[in-house]
Amino acid sequence: MRVVITGAFGFLGRLLAAALLQTRTFDGVPIERLVLADRAVPPDAPVAADPLVDVVHGDLTDRLDAVFAAPVDVVFHLAAAVSAECEADVDLGMRVNVDATRALLDAARAQSATGGPVARVVFSSSLAVYGSGPGLPQTPVVSEATPSVPRSSYGTQKLICEHLIADYTRHGFLDGRVVRLMTVSVRPGPPNAAASGFLSGIIREPLAGLPAICPVRPDLRVALASPRRTVQGMLRVAQAERGAGPGRLDGPMPVNLPALTVSVADMLATLRQTAGDAVADLVTVTPDPAVEAIVASWPAAFDNTRAARLGLAPDPSFLSIVRDYLTDHADAVRTDLPDGT
Ligand SMILES: NC(=O)c1ccc[n+]([C@@H]2O[C@H](COP(=O)([O-])OP(=O)(O)OC[C@H]3O[C@@H](n4cnc5c(N)ncnc54)[C@H](O)[C@@H]3O)[C@@H](O)[C@H]2O)c1
């Protein structure tokens, strides 16, 4: 089996690659090659030395020949430009999020059309496909049946790809599976250009002893998932058997990964409870209307029934998410936190 991850050296791509390299199987079948494709490959990436791994370095559109140089059984398509980037530069978003995805889908289609395998294409979509605004009130609880009306270019681009994947799947060109990710928190490392980046920054930065700005009103409610649950969810949807009933993936509809609904105030209170006043006081609330307009248009409460049928559950609490972060990234946390953190 040959498995490809695009955007493999990004935040979630690395975690997904690590999970696949741990089991070394996909759906019970041994992985013979794991192809990690990204335009930015760190020179010292230890994963590149794994005997199972092939690295394809470069812009995805230019490197599809290398990705499809041998039959592809599964693609996790994660390469993307993120929300604030796409809002600031619509052409960039269209090129990376729409044009490159279409080129990837057409390469998979060409593979099956010439007698190769029907590739399983797992697409990381986003809760940003939903939106609210004037004349478009927020539904209190959102499910996959709720109409998607994005209010950002990023969400629009993700939705275009969702529809293309559903159509290519209907034609039998590929087996597409769309996983809508919640905002993943706590993301380690430097801040990124996602409008939701502060939902990690207000925890990560103070825990490292650094100041952080919270650009939204603290009563704003958001839908989060930990990195661990997000990767678990992507793998579960990717490996689910098609069909009706519990444990199976029915129909062409996307799967919204389970969401933990919290307010930003709850997140800050958890930080205070976990790390103490000095750390929590490093966060300053300074609303930024541009960020708030995007993030507040996203739904905060989800009906998780479809994901639950696949055995997926939301994180139990934001405290558990912070504890995961402290365990997984102890080296990025200041050492003088109160005992027991
Ligand atoms: N992290 C989240 O909170 C979140 C939430 C919803 C959806 N998603 C989606 O999940 C996926 C992964 O997110 P992430 O947080 O790991 O993002 P990331 O920005 O950390 O990683 C994306 C990777 O894609 C690569 N990439 C971008 N354009 C490329 C191109 N043209 N060719 C080759 N590589 C390219 C980048 O170099 C980067 O390594 C994305 O599709 C994103 O839209 C993420």
The mean per-residue pLDDT over the stretch 129-142 comes to 88
Do residues 143 and 201 both lie within one domain?
A: no
Do residues 214 and 252 both lie within one domain?
A: no
- Sort strands 221-225 and 260-263 into parallel, antiparallel or unpaired: antiparallel
324: closest CA among 200, 222, 148, 206? 200
Cα 245 to middle of ligand 1, angstroms: 32
pTM over 0.85: yes
Do residues 157 and 96 both lie within one domain?
A: yes
The three-point CA angle 173-176-179 to 5° equals 165
Asked if residue 339 belongs to a domain, the reply is no
**Closest residue (by CA) to atom 37 of ligand 1?**
40
Cα 38 to middle of ligand 1, angstroms: 10
**Closest residue (by CA) to atom 5 of ligand 1?**
183
Residue 335: pLDDT band (50, 70, 90) is confident
Asked if residue 110 belongs to a domain, the reply is yes
Residue 341: pLDDT band (50, 70, 90) is low
Do residues 216 and 230 both lie within one domain?
A: no
Tell me the two tokens of residue 295: 């993030």
Return the ligand 1 atom nearest residue 196 CA: 3
Which CATH number do you get for residue 210?
A: 3.90.25.10
Do residues 70 and 209 both lie within one domain?
A: no
Domain count, the chain: 2
Q: Print the domain residue range for 133.
A: 2-182+226-256
User: CA-to-CA distance for 72 and 240, rounded, in angstroms?
Assistant: 18
Do residues 11 and 81 both lie within one domain?
A: yes
Asked if residue 321 belongs to a domain, the reply is yes
Asked if residue 326 belongs to a domain, the reply is yes
Which CATH number do you get for residue 20?
A: 3.40.50.720
Ligand 1 pocket, residues with Cβ under 6 angstroms: 7, 9-13, 38-40, 59-60, 78-82, 96, 100, 124, 126, 181, 183-184, 192
Do residues 206 and 238 both lie within one domain?
A: no
Do residues 76 and 167 both lie within one domain?
A: yes
Q: What is the pLDDT of residue 280?
A: 96
**Closest residue (by CA) to atom 15 of ligand 1?**
11
Asked if residue 238 belongs to a domain, the reply is yes
Do residues 164 and 138 both lie within one domain?
A: yes
Cα 244 to middle of ligand 1, angstroms: 31
Do residues 232 and 283 both lie within one domain?
A: no
Catalytic residue among 130, 154, 168, 325: 154
Percent of residues, the chain, with pLDDT higher than 90: 86
Cα 277 to middle of ligand 1, angstroms: 34
Asked if residue 187 belongs to a domain, the reply is no
Rounded to the nearest integer, the mean pLDDT of the chain is 95
Residues in the chain: 341
Asked if residue 308 belongs to a domain, the reply is no
154 included as an active-site residue: yes
User: CA-to-CA distance for 180 and 198, rounded, in angstroms?
Assistant: 20
Question: With contact defined as beta carbons under 8 Å apart, do 271 and 193 qualify?
Answer: no
18-72 pLDDT per residue, tens: 999 999 999 999 999 999 999 999 998 889 899 999 999 999 999 999 999 999 9
Asked if residue 133 belongs to a domain, the reply is yes
126: closest CA among 167, 81, 88? 81
Do residues 320 and 275 both lie within one domain?
A: yes
Do residues 24 and 51 both lie within one domain?
A: yes
**Closest residue (by CA) to atom 44 of ligand 1?**
181
Cα 8 to middle of ligand 1, angstroms: 8
Q: What is the pLDDT of residue 339?
A: 56
